[in-house]
Amino acid sequence: MKKMFLQIKFTLFFLLAMASLSVAQGTRTYQTNLAISGQTEDGQGVNYLLLHKIYTNTPIADNYVFGKISAIRGSVAASNRKWTVEVNTSSAWTQNRGSIICYNEPATLVTLTYNWEDYLAVSISNAASLYNFSFTGYAQSATFIIATDNVVSNVQQFSSMDLISIQGNVGIGTIYTGIHKLAVEGSIGARRVRVNPTGWADFVFEEDYELPALGEVEEYIKANKHLPDVPTAEEAEKEGVDLGEMNKKLLQKVEELTLYLIEQQKQLKSQQEQINALQQQHELHLKPGKAY
């Protein structure tokens, strides 16, 4: 019985030790569930988690934080909303680099001044208090200080962001990506979208391009209820629309329409010249003394 008690006690001790494990690997130390003291304010402004000092004008030693930081927001009544970010930041010699992935709610990397020193930090939204902060990963010369907005200054969005690459397909709001690298079930908001199409529609202006006669186009529309070379409503709904290909098709129709207008303008000009000539002849015939 005593032996079993000792085994249980040893097991508990081992589990507790593993919960805050620091393992040296070469010249780096891997931290597991490293506690970060303090908590954020309760809805009194943006707070910041200082990661490490950064390079400004003087070369510095290697400071970095690679890993996951988590915390709990609110009380049990607020469902203990989790806050998690993955950071990959470094300030070494004359460069500052970093990237961040956020879960649960937005967070950004910023630079700021705290106690007359410049730091890289994670911004924390103005909301209910976050507490029980912990870090798992690699860190060197890390600060891990929670600072309120009234004790920091010169807060700037961090701009030297590193690439975050995903190998494979990504589904947002869906687990079905089909043949697509990115599938989104819902809307996408963007300020600009650039599509690199294959080919463009300027072939319409080539000398050998056969512009369809308007009569043929009219007959096609009557029979098919859509423009030639343009997907039907049923096809678009079933298969979706390729933005690059659709823009090329629409441009083709615009260029064809431009050619129709140019030709129509030529005809109108010719007709107007004929009308003007007839008017001149008519005016000459109406002059006094003019024999009919």
How many angstroms separate the CA atoms of 134 and 178, rounded?
38
List alpha helices for the chain, DSSP H. Answer: 2-19, 214-224, 233-239, 243-285
pLDDT tens digits for range 150-175: 999 999 999 999 999 999 999 999 99
**Which DSSP symbol is given to 125?**
-
Backbone angles phi, psi at 11, to 5 degrees: -60, -45
- Taken in order 18, 24, 25, 29, the sign of the CA dihedral is positive
Q: What is the pLDDT of residues 89-101, one digit of tens each?
A: 999 999 999 999 9
Residue with tokens 């049923």: 234
Compare 125 and 8 and report the one with higher pLDDT: 125
Residue type, 140: Q
Say what the alpha-carbon torsion angle 114, 119, 123, 124 is, to the nearest 10 degrees: -60
Read off the pLDDT of each residue in 269-281 and give the average, rounded to a whole number. 94
Structure tokens at 143: 């600060």
Which two tokens mark 226?
């859509």
Query: Would the pLDDT of 206 be above 70?
Result: yes
The Cα–Cα gap between 217 and 229 comes to 11
Q: Which residue has the tokens 């600072």?
A: 147
pLDDT interval class at 27 (50, 70, 90): confident
What pTM was computed for the model?
0.74
Residue with tokens 């697509």: 180
pLDDT at 26 over 70: no
> Contacts from 203-206 at CB under 8 Å and sequence distance 24+?
204/252, 204/255, 204/256, 204/259, 205/255, 205/259
Q: Report whether 20 contacts 6 (CB < 8 A).
A: no
- The CA distance from 32 to 42, in Å, is 27
Task: Quote the CA–CA distance of 130 and 39 in Å, as a whole number.
Answer: 5
Mean pLDDT of 234-253: 94
